[in-house]
A and B are shown apart, each in its own frame.
Chain A
């Protein structure tokens, strides 16, 4: 049994959080049993340790500085169930708008966190690449998985990461041998279904291990199917060894009531390049947690994000980038476009250890408010213990440039077109960094096809703004 430490609370919301926590603990007692033997004995112990840490921290309330801008009560109070029985039938056509690769590249599809072989494609196999559903990898290749699983993810103060470790049933194991270069992107698709009797929660885990000199691009696509509440609590670990390059893209296409929590844990052990770009579209509450540790000299870590929100949608990006070795470069670049009463939050923290001389760190957060009721909170933070570093941060929140709108209108463009052009130009600074052409086009299409008070009647695609003609 897991003990339930008591904390003094007065607010009823907080009581609710405690009850919610206890519900998770009870679920876990049942879960360990069904989890059974597995091929990885240490996993059972890790899960137990994780749920104990979760019991300790519980669901965060707003007094927790890390969660100042996101109220998790709507998530905590929902009695989510784990998916059981048959994987629901999903028409492949429903996924078409979110898929971009052809069948020569591998695609792994998961429904409510469980692997769906019928929707997946193996693609051409590349020598030196292991790409497996995580459950299968744990069952059949436990010794290969063990050195990577849980190596990057520090869930000490991350309740949802702890829940992921405690509860993940499946996910992805990707291992790249020394010097392997995977040309086409590896496409991972996670579908959260909604509208059944009970709302479902899934906790997919993605484990990426890149040995020295390996190069790969991984795309994570999260899609909500059906109307109603769902929770995806994904955790992605990327471990990059000397000379490895990992490009990670995450896009979320979520219906109004979906909750999405993600944790990206990165560890770079040499002159490596890890780049991640997250595009958030829709969803009731989205929280993206990042924890990158640059533990080898000359590493480059670039984290980027774009959220385009409307209604009461909410996206909170929370970053911690640690320079734990000299001469590394980190870049955080996050933007949001907010309509209606939507809200975005950004907390970017660059932490420079004493040893990390010659650090070059930069973080930028800019937000475009398209409505008076939208709100963007921004907390760029630097914590520096080395003396020879170059770190900058900038936060900018504003409205559309009226002069630019008038200039465009004075040349014959309607107010809508003018607004849309400026929004695309703003978003383009993130979108244009997406190196996978098909994904970039898909993102543009999804971002600007959503009906919105400003985009209807917009000309062309955002990429066209830069077109050389």
Chain B
């Protein structure tokens, strides 16, 4: 589904991603871990199409197409979803308006019928229950005045609505208490299917107790320095990233 080859990206001349390689197949859940500032969000944003980052080398193939050639909205319509580490507040635009516009944009692209108010409402009712998102929030402006946890749940809620093929979750777990974490994980697990893939960026292995990944990758200094199964997450938990850093030389020379 997704193939990242030797991806280099920089911002203002500083290289942040320095040769990322990653293959994600349908049905798989990958976790990317790594210390602060290692480039996890940059990778997520580049995949979603943020133009602040300049891709200087490498390629990304998504469903057989050159992902980097696609506009951010086309990527979204083609099923790429980024749950933002920092969801953006948009004053003056209600959640309901935003969600319906987004849904219909994606539906149009898929050749599906646009949702009318009734159809929209029905869908939203169902999905908001899954992440236990207070329906009152839907009358408010996008993310405005939402608590940290509400913002994160809102991201998962949008993911559930848009039913993406490839979901990239950028630290959706940070700032959540255990209950919220379980709710978010439930939302994610419900969406898991043989046709869908997920990339879960996280700082802690905590989330991975709830969403069990097929693969764990460690990103340090803009490179994936180690990959393994779910047990790698526990290893990291015990040893920290320092231990992995040492392994970088091995990864780089191999």
Mask of A405-425 contacts with B, CB within 8 angstroms, 1/0: 011111111110110011011
B62 contact set on A, CB distance < 8 A: none
B109 contact set on A, CB distance < 8 A: 412
Are the CB atoms of B139 and A406 closer together than 8 Å? no
User: A426 at interface (Cβ–Cβ under 8 A)?
Assistant: yes
User: A467 at interface (Cβ–Cβ under 8 A)?
Assistant: yes
User: B146 at interface (Cβ–Cβ under 8 A)?
Assistant: no
Are the CB atoms of B88 and A411 closer together than 8 Å? no
Interface centre among B82, B84, B94 (most CB of A within 10 A): B94
User: B76 at interface (Cβ–Cβ under 8 A)?
Assistant: yes
The number of A-B residue pairs with CB atoms under 8 Å apart is 99
User: B250 at interface (Cβ–Cβ under 8 A)?
Assistant: no
User: A96 at interface (Cβ–Cβ under 8 A)?
Assistant: no
Are the CB atoms of A412 and B76 closer together than 8 Å? yes
Bound Cα distance from A466 to B93, whole angstroms: 6
User: A91 at interface (Cβ–Cβ under 8 A)?
Assistant: no
Bound Cα distance from A459 to B114, whole angstroms: 13
List residues 410-469 of chain A with CB under 8 A from any CB of chain B.
410-415, 417-418, 421-422, 424-426, 428-429, 459-460, 464-469
A415 contact set on B, CB distance < 8 A: 71, 73
Q: Knowing A465-B97, A467-B96 are in contact, say whether A410-B87 is a contact too (CB < 8 A).
A: no
Bound Cα distance from A459 to B101, whole angstroms: 8
A426 contact set on B, CB distance < 8 A: 92
Interface size on B, residues (CB 8 A): 39
Q: Knowing A413-B102, A465-B97, A469-B100 are in contact, say whether A408-B90 is a contact too (CB < 8 A).
A: yes
Q: Knowing A404-B90, A409-B72, A410-B49 are in contact, say whether A467-B102 is a contact too (CB < 8 A).
A: no
Q: Knowing A406-B50, A468-B139, A469-B117 are in contact, say whether A411-B98 is a contact too (CB < 8 A).
A: yes
Q: Knowing A409-B71, A412-B106, A413-B105 are in contact, say whether A469-B92 is a contact too (CB < 8 A).
A: no
Q: Which residue of A lies closest to B106 (CB)?
A: A412
Bound Cα distance from A411 to B154, whole angstroms: 13
Q: Knowing A406-B50, A409-B49, A412-B109 are in contact, say whether A422-B93 is a contact too (CB < 8 A).
A: yes
User: B42 at interface (Cβ–Cβ under 8 A)?
Assistant: no
Bound Cα distance from A403 to B90, whole angstroms: 9
Q: Knowing A407-B88, A409-B72, A411-B162 are in contact, say whether A469-B106 is a contact too (CB < 8 A).
A: no
- The smallest beta-carbon distance between A349 and chain B, in angstroms, is 28
Bound Cα distance from A372 to B121, whole angstroms: 41
A428 contact set on B, CB distance < 8 A: 92
Using a CB–CB cutoff of 8 Å, the interface residues on chain A facing chain B are 401, 403-404, 406-415, 417-418, 421-422, 424-426, 428-429, 459-460, 464-469
Cross-chain pairs A/B with CB under 8 angstroms, 26 sampled:
A403-B88, A404-B88, A406-B48, A406-B49, A408-B90, A409-B72, A409-B73, A410-B48, A410-B72, A410-B81, A410-B84, A411-B102, A411-B105, A411-B158, A412-B102, A412-B109, A421-B97, A421-B98, A424-B92, A426-B92, A428-B92, A429-B92, A465-B93, A467-B97, A468-B94, A469-B121
With contacts A408-B102, A410-B72 known, what are 13 further pairs, Cβ within 8 A? A401-B90, A406-B48, A406-B49, A409-B72, A409-B76, A410-B82, A421-B98, A424-B92, A425-B90, A459-B104, A460-B97, A466-B92, A469-B120
